[in-house]
Amino acid sequence: MAIDSLWQRLRGLLRPTPRDPEAVPHARTSSGSSRVADSLRSLLDDPTIPAAVRSELATDFARIESMLAKLERGELHIAVFGRVSAGKSALGNALLGRPAFPVGVLHGTTTEAGQATLDEAQHDGLVLIDTPGINELDGEARERLAFDVAEIADLVVFVCDGDLTRQELDALKTLAATQRPLLLALNKADRYGADELTALLDHLRQRVAGLVRPDDVLAAAALPAAQRLIDVDARGNETVGERSPPPDVAALRERLLAIAAREGKTLSAINAGLYAGRLTDQVSARIAQTRQQVATRLIRHYCLAKGVAVALNPIPVADLLAAAGLDAAMVVQLSRVYGLPLTRAESGRLVAVISAQLAALMGAIWGMQLVASALKGMSAGLSVFVTAAAQGALGWYATVLIGRAAERYLVGGKSWGDAGAKRAVADIVASLDRDSILREARGEILKRLKSRRG
């Protein structure tokens, strides 16, 4: 299946995100991005993905399309994360040089669906993403937001305005677990004297050791406090006024631009590739789920057909031979469901292997079935209604076992795996509730028999 080969390609392309931007050789950046882009196109164009699965995961496929476009434009997406009161929106505006994001304590709510409302703005190839304030969300919602942000951002700037609270440190650890590069921006740095600021930065570097590189803990002042000015005119009259200093985000901006220039494409490619890998897993799971649902209906259909055929056939042993033919036909149909078609001969051999293992495990049951078959013949069919439901139920149960074992073989790519057929069949037998299946089978077969007699 194409989706499987795509995931193998992605695994070969992706490496853990480096903590040091300089650790990525620039020569590999372009080729790596190009190969990831090719893999994304393959995922988007994969003809083996059913329309129903594409529809169910439409939002994720749209995200892949936007990530592909982002790669082609050479953008680096940066999420600004933190408390509302820490000034994250103001910091985003200062980095952009324009008021792109609303600033205020009421900004940053979540939608009814619980998904984060994110604002985006672009500047010099950097796309900043403003996120809801983590202090407005409970612990579970903060964790979900962190992973949502990580899925769409290549790098995260975590904004604080002093020593980290427990809530902030927990959120930072959650973000670090997503393997996205992190910068810690100490905003409102103008509130501290030089010595105090140096001490606070050193303290923060110690607290985030192992989460954020020391060089990526930076001071900033998005909205410096207004300075009091006294103007004295020629007559000595004093006029008191205020002046708002310009934002001080030069160090943070330079760091972001340096990362973008040195490894922006690599970070973007890794993020897109990881997202595509997760989507590939989801697609594969949905397809497997759909196949299993179809296979379950198919097995049930053959169970009913076999149970009734066995119950209605008055000729000794002939009912068992007819049942074997139904099992082989079922396995042929299952192989088509799983995209690994078997010939009738291959199906017959597979049924023989499974039946041999079942006979070894359940010899007594098969012996009862033969006795019941002979009893029907000796009574010229008069005992059909007495024995038919019980014998048909055993036939039903056998078909469930054969169908599930054949499924295991097909899911394994026409392989029993290292454990072999014996272990696989034993696992299937152990996993099914025989009594429950037999009760259901007898009930269904009796209904059929009564309707035929009526």
Domain borders along the chain are 30-105+114-223+250-280, 288-452
More confident residue, 386 or 74: 74
pLDDT of residue 212: 95
pLDDT of residue 314: 54
pLDDT of residue 363: 60
pLDDT of residue 109: 37
User: So what CATH class is 30-105+114-223+250-280?
Assistant: alpha beta
30-39, 64-73, 306-315: which is most confident? 64-73
pLDDT of residue 450: 74
Whole-number Å distance between alpha carbons of 220 and 19: 22
Q: Which of 67-71, 181-185, 218-222, 311-315 comes out lowest in average pLDDT?
A: 311-315
For 266-285, write each residue's pLDDT tens digit. Answer: 887 777 777 777 788 888 88
Contact predicate 89/185, CB 8 Å: no
Centre a 10 Å sphere on the Cβ of residue 447 and count the other Cβ atoms it contains.
Answer: 11
Contact predicate 323/366, CB 8 Å: no
For 52-62, write each residue's pLDDT tens digit. Answer: 888 888 888 88
Contact predicate 134/82, CB 8 Å: yes
As a whole number, mean pLDDT of residues 136-152 equals: 70
As a whole number, mean pLDDT of residues 331-355 equals: 90
Q: Round the average pLDDT of the chain to a whole number and report it.
A: 77
Q: pLDDT band at 221, cuts 50/70/90?
A: very high
